[in-house]
Amino acid sequence: MSDKDTKPVLKLIDSANKPPTKKAGNVGGGSGQGGGKSKNEGRQFGNYQIIDNCFYHLKSKNDGGFEKIKLCDFSCKVIEERLTDDGLSEESILIIEGVRENGQLLRRVEVSTKSFSSRQTTWITDAWGMKALVLAGSQKMDNIRVCIQMYSRLDGDIPVTTVYKHGGWKEIDEHWLYLTGTGAISATGLTDGFTVDLGRGQMGNYQLPAPLAGDGLKQAVNNALMLLKVCPTKPHIGAALLAAAVRAPLGECHPTAFAIWLHGLTGSRKSALAAIVQAFFGNFDANRGFPGNWSDSVNDCEMKAHQAKDGVFTVDDFKPSVSQAEAAKLHAMAERLIRNTGNQAGRGRRDSNMQAKAAPFNRSMMLITAEDLPRGQSLLGRLLILELNRMDVDNAVLSELQRAAALEQFTGLMSAYLQWLAPRLDDLKRSFPEMIQQLRSLAIREGFAASHPRAPEIYANLMAGIDTFLEFLTDVEAVTSVQSNSLLLAIETSLKQAFTEQTEYQTEQDETERFLKLLQAALSSGEAHIADRLNQGPPNERPFSWGWRDAGTDVTGDKILSPKGDLIGWYSEISSAGPAEVWLQPECVFKVVQQFARGQGETFLISQPSLWRRMQEKGLILKTEPDTKSKKPRTAVKRTVAGRSVRVMVLSAELIESG
């Protein structure tokens, strides 16, 4: 979807006939054969008539007759009214075809109902240019609009069709249907008679065949379960990817407020694995491409993720390594997409009249392949991160999965799963959230998903999806109940392992941990220094660790140490009062850390107050004092340095020391 606020008034239908070669004697270069007459030539409808293929207005005269007033040099009619539903709003489009006065056909066009009804419209000129002339007169367009409507209904009501611009579940006539490019999956199987248009390019590959059954279904199930073996040394990766595929269609029952982040070095086969998951929902593979990629505009990606409702939507190849500016753009796009997913809300906008516009948000199971991680704990908390190395994927198993995908076994299996879900969806809309809540409580009690408050919810969603899928497999006798229980236990164990590993990624992006590491690096590289609190010289203990460097010797042969960079605090030696401390000047140390991060091509965006509060919550700030007004703990306390009183943050010297 374009990020422009305005859409073209009309669009040529792709299937329109090409104009024939212009013949000698034809005037004006029309789009069709000349010399023809409408079958309604001379027919009167209301106060209008077609004469020589032109619309005329019949105006009553005092003598009881009519004055024939020519409105334009063409006639046209609406042959179809097309309602488009994109999941945000419905728009009505009129399909119009016409003929010129000389009999030449005017090309078929699409015109929005809003534009057709407007008194200031220019749709005729926009559609047919100089080939269609509206004669002068203040009421001409009003008469033409009424004339077209009456003419179009001469043979009955104008046919109305609905085009769905999104996939996924839709309740139509009190029945749940899963919309896909080939029609709709219902309780009875693949149903035609529904038009789904997700757009050009890879989005058009969201197409599901008729559901598999019998031996074909069992074979597809066996091949799909090979995902559990595709990474022998990391079985949690295959388990999580299978869980993501079967959880995706349940987005109608409970929002999918998380994404899967599959990352690793180039050559680790992450895109090939993502293509297997994507292949459950259409004709996708790593060679043909994915529905989304990081070169898309963020608006386009948001809209496509909205269209891919209740399916998997892969955004391929997050690799912010071209330049700092381009990397910043990619990280900003990642933040917007992930927050859009986690919050289940799009970016609010207003039209020219300041009326709120419906904002697209991610309604899919988003799967991202990447060579790096997004920035910030908050973003990581909305993700399940799966890390691949080059030796993790069993290429023989991957090849079998790719062959099964090429034979449409996974799409046929998904169609069968959707057919099974359709009559149960109303019940699942009540029971599925309850199952998630129970599994979430279990994860919290057991403590294996403690990396972020959102982690138990993500685990519960994936396990609930697997549980529902295994119930389907048992119900259609693709697996036995014993096999189902064994699979459930194996996948549960693997997913627990996946969530246990999330803590490491959270620690890497913890703002307090980053602050300490950046501060240590700044001191080590000579970008800042810490002085002794008494004599302002180098600390007696390991001065090189505090930003001091050898500057030769003095006249007596004693070594001279020189400070590097800005002074950011003071060193207080071990005393009877306690261990060694570092007293940091809050503003100075924060400025140094920010500048050092920028020099490394990174960002450090957290505010000072938030950072100090988080450090205090973790017990990293050793001393506080109550604020005189709010009585809340104040992280900057008074200390005496070289005979003067300053406010500093007191931290353990051992915590800061960079040696």
- The Cα 408–Cα 211 span in angstroms is 11
| Mean pLDDT of the region 188-193 | 92
Q: What is the pLDDT of residues 314-323, one digit of tens each?
A: 999 999 876 7
Task: Write down the pLDDT at residue 39.
Answer: 64
Rg (CA), the chain: 34
Handedness of CA 644, 646, 650, 651 (dihedral sign): negative
What is the share, in percent, of the chain residues with pLDDT greater than 90?
69
Task: Write down the pLDDT at residue 232.
Answer: 97
Name which of 655, 461, 652, 454 is nearest 572 in CA terms.
Answer: 652
Is a pLDDT exceeding 80 seen at residue 354?
A: no
Name the residue type at position 638. K
Task: Write down the pLDDT at residue 20.
Answer: 44
Q: What is the pLDDT of residues 225-258, one digit of tens each?
A: 999 999 999 999 999 999 999 999 999 999 999 9
**31-45, 315-329, 373-387, 636-650: segment of lowest average pLDDT:** 31-45
Q: Are strands 74-85 and 548-553 parallel, antiparallel or unpaired?
A: unpaired
Task: Write down the pLDDT at residue 475.
Answer: 97
Is a pLDDT exceeding 50 seen at residue 346?
A: yes
| Mean pLDDT of the region 80-107 | 94
Contact 515, 532 (CB under 8 A): no
- The Cα 521–Cα 527 span in angstroms is 8
Is a pLDDT exceeding 90 seen at residue 589?
A: yes
| Mean pLDDT of the region 260-282 | 95
What does pLDDT average to over the chain?
89
Contact 314, 241 (CB under 8 A): no
Which helix or strand (DSSP H or E) is residue 368 part of?
strand 365-370
Token pair for residue 301?
Answer: 């990606």
- The Cα 609–Cα 446 span in angstroms is 34
Confidence of residue 27 (pLDDT cuts 50, 70, 90): very low
Name which of 417, 408, 138 is nearest 282 in CA terms.
Answer: 408
Name the residue type at position 322. V
Q: What is the pLDDT of residues 357-369, one digit of tens each?
A: 778 999 999 999 9
- Eight-state DSSP code of residue 134: B
Q: How many CB atoms lie within 10 A of CB 22?
A: 13
Q: What is the pLDDT of residues 45-58, one digit of tens each?
A: 999 999 999 999 99
Taking the C-alpha atoms of 343, 344, 347 and 348 in order, what is their torsion angle to the nearest 10 degrees?
Answer: -110
Q: What is the pLDDT of residues 373-424, one digit of tens each?
A: 998 878 899 999 999 999 999 999 999 999 999 999 999 999 999 999 999 9
Note the pTM of the prediction, 2 decimals.
Answer: 0.79
Q: At residue 166, what are phi and psi to the nearest 5 degrees?
A: -145, 160
